[in-house]
Amino acid sequence: MKNVELINNLFIRTYDSQLEGHTHNYHQVLMPLMGDISMIIMNQTIKVSYGETLVIRKGVYHQFQARKDFRFLVANIEDIDFLKLSLNETHFSMDEKTLLYISFVEKQLTSAYNQKIEGMMFELLKELLGTIQMTKRLDTRLTSVVQAIKGNITINHTIKSLAEIACLSESQFKVLFKEYLGCTPYAYITELRMKSALGLILNTDTPIAIVAEKCGYDNVSAFIRRFSNFYHQTPYKLRCNNQDMKHPIYSEQF
């Protein structure tokens, strides 16, 4: 019989350094908040670190061990269809916004109990996890590269500078980056810049020239061209349309 209170809820968990094992009659999504955990699932050893997510399907026997001072956010879930995982997919990287969100969830769960808020947090976490593009886990040589790019999107990286971070030749780096990220480094940086620009344009009143600067463009005209090619609208028009949607003007007849 299922324990209803355990399903569709969030918990902060710690584990023991001694290897233990069990099964659940629900799916479990595990996200390290600090440290890492070693899991053995179907004779495969998986190390799950901060920034990553592991999905443990219901009924699957798994063993685990971690240092007692490491913490993990655990979501026990009835249905994981929202993740759109293939049968072989269980381990994937989180994006930046989801990482920031689970830090907020940890603070809320450890400060006070509010059933309504925790239910809302659970649903929002599902939405965020459902938007993550399921890509191959990064080769360790690319981890520092992605961190360098995301850490400051205004820097105009070159293939040479990024390859040096990865300790690879330029040709090796380009092949490896395309294999794991699905695009060229230039396209990856451009997409990050455009997504950041979109948020600033739609959610703030930051002048377009400052938006361009914050997104790595010294030339405003070059930024507008790039933005227009990416979103098929100029930043001015997109902001204007968004403001009209947020503040519709109604005509009244008397």
Domain identity same for 49 and 162: no
Could you tell me the residue range of the domain that residue 168 belongs to? 140-245
Say whether 63 sits in a helix, a strand or coil: strand
Domain identity same for 195 and 227: yes
- Per-residue pLDDT reduced to its tens digit, 145-175: 988 898 899 999 999 999 999 999 999 999 9
What percent of the chain has pLDDT above 90?
Answer: 63
Most confident of 77-86, 100-109, 221-230: 221-230
- Total number of domains constituting the chain: 2
The answer as to whether 114 is a domain residue is yes
- At 87 the pLDDT is 63
- Per-residue pLDDT reduced to its tens digit, 116-145: 999 999 999 999 998 876 555 677 788 889
The chain-wide mean pLDDT, for the chain, equals 87
- Per-residue pLDDT reduced to its tens digit, 232-244: 999 999 998 877 6
What's the angle, vertex CA 50, arms to CA 155 and CA 154, rounded to 5? 10
Domain identity same for 10 and 125: yes
Task: Give the integer Cα–Cα distance in Å for 155 and 217.
Answer: 9
Which ranges constitute the DSSP H helices of 69-184?
96-111, 115-131, 140-151, 159-166, 170-181
Domain identity same for 13 and 126: yes
Q: What is the CATH number of the domain that holds 182?
A: 1.10.10.60
| Residue 7, token pair as written in the block | 């399903």
pLDDT at 250 over 80: no
pLDDT at 252 over 50: no
Say whether 225 sits in a helix, a strand or coil: helix
DSSP element (H, E) containing 55: strand 52-56
Q: What is the pTM of this model?
A: 0.63
Domain identity same for 118 and 144: no
Give 253 or 3, the one with higher predicted confidence: 3
- At 231 the pLDDT is 93
Q: Kindly list the strands in the beta sheet with 36-41, ordered across the sheet, starting from the edge strand earlier in the chain.
A: 20-22, 62-65, 36-41, 44-49
Give 96 or 17, the one with higher predicted confidence: 17
